Amino acid sequence: MNILHIANHVKQCGNGIVNVMIDLACEQAKLGHNVAVASEGGGYIELLLKNNIQHYKLDQTRKPAQMMQAFFNFRKMVKQFKPDIIHAHMMTGALLSRYLKGFQKYKIVTHVHNEFQKSADFMKVGDSVIAVSQAVAISMVSRGVQENKLHIVLNGTIGSSRKGDTGGVCLKGLSIVTVAGLYERKGIFDLIEAFEIVVAKYPEANLYVLGEGPDRSKFELQANQSIGKDNIHFLGYQSNPHNYMEAADVFVLASHKESFGLVLIEAREAGCAIVATDIDGIPEALDFGESGMLVPPKSPERLAESIISMLQDSEMSNKYRKRALQGLEYYSVERVARDTLKIYEGLLIS
């Protein structure tokens, strides 16, 4: 099967959409399919080539000149690669695939990673639509996607080709770690406010924030005005956050919106005691509270209470650590690839 994945870029920056696509493409290639990726480019090109995956340069910047060039490059690429399936992970690729299809025989699969974005409305152009959680599927049905072409494929990271060798890191005192894009929707404001409560009780506590994003300066300003400012550390994007997760006393994801939370599977694989918000697809990633403690979103006080509970009750935190490791085989990238291939096959015989 000739499979062409399209995304805006393949940068190594912690973007969950890109990470899912790279894992999926690499695993499909390992399963014997002819796979290519089209994007503006980025640091994952080397990994793609290592897995015998061709990369096509496709700049999808939404400006007239670039879009005209993208139309030309897209047609040339399709003529050369002859895809059976085009798998679009972002809006622009989905629309290019649909509007320039003409008499081409390929089928279009769109992958809804962030349904809370308005652009997700355009993902209904796919012949099949993949939702990353039941919560996303319910939302997409309400937005007009036909149920008969909607499929749920939960994300997985176990066995990812992106992961390199792991090594240890040493974190100070009682360590609280979050790994997230630095956007307001990730709840970093709430986490810093909650940490003020935690550090008042445990002065040796330290908060480590891993990730980059447009709102970093806002969060750093809040942190610098906090009573725990000396114990809050912004470490930027880390290519191997697993090391920090393994060293953490508590892992936290305080999102206000989260279609699934791929990082939670990574935290579970690291055996973390997890506290996360009870929103969107997060409960599905944590077995509805069995594999991590769920708290209401936008509630710093409740978030602080749960972090403190994990820190002061070793029996409880160890229970969550053990539960986090259970059932992880389901979240393998191989299972994600095979589930996705079944969707392709259903389209091609229909």
Measured distance CA(233)–CA(244) in Å, rounded: 12
The DSSP secondary-structure symbol of 133 reads: S
Q: Specify the pLDDT at position 2.
A: 98
Q: Specify the pLDDT at position 123.
A: 96
Residue whose entry in the numeric block shows the structure tokens 């690499």: 26
Q: Specify the pLDDT at position 165.
A: 62
What residue type is assigned to position 60 of the chain? Q
CATH 3.40.50.2000 in the chain is located at 2-156+332-349, 174-330
Within 10 Å of residue 144's Cβ, how many Cβ atoms? Answer: 8
Among 18, 16, 26, 13, CA closest to 3? 26
Measured distance CA(153)–CA(109) in Å, rounded: 13
Among 350, 349, 329, 344, CA closest to 35? 344
Within 10 Å of residue 61's Cβ, how many Cβ atoms? Answer: 13
pLDDT in tens, 282-315: 999 999 999 999 999 999 999 999 999 999 999 9
pLDDT in tens, 314-345: 999 999 999 999 999 999 999 999 999 999 99
> What are the residue ranges in the chain where pLDDT is below 70?
165-166
Q: Specify the pLDDT at position 166.
A: 62
The CATH class that applies to domain 174-330 reads alpha beta
SS3 label, residue 166 = coil
Measured distance CA(334)–CA(85) in Å, rounded: 19
Residue whose entry in the numeric block shows the structure tokens 């690839």: 337
Q: What architecture is the 2-156+332-349 domain classified under in CATH?
A: 3-Layer(aba) Sandwich (3.40)
CB proximity list for 208: less than 8 A, separation 6 or greater: 171, 175, 176, 177, 178, 233, 235, 244, 248
SS3 label, residue 278 = coil
- The b-or-e profile of 110-141 (16+ CB within 10 A means b, else e) is bbbbbbebeebebbbbbbbbbbbbebbbebbe
pLDDT in tens, 212-234: 999 999 999 999 999 999 999 99
SS3 label, residue 226 = coil
Q: Please state the φ and ψ torsions of residue 54, each to the nearest 5 degrees.
A: -75, 140
pTM of the model: 0.94
Q: How far is CA 260 from CA 23, 98, 204, 231, 244, in A?
A: 16, 26, 32, 29, 21
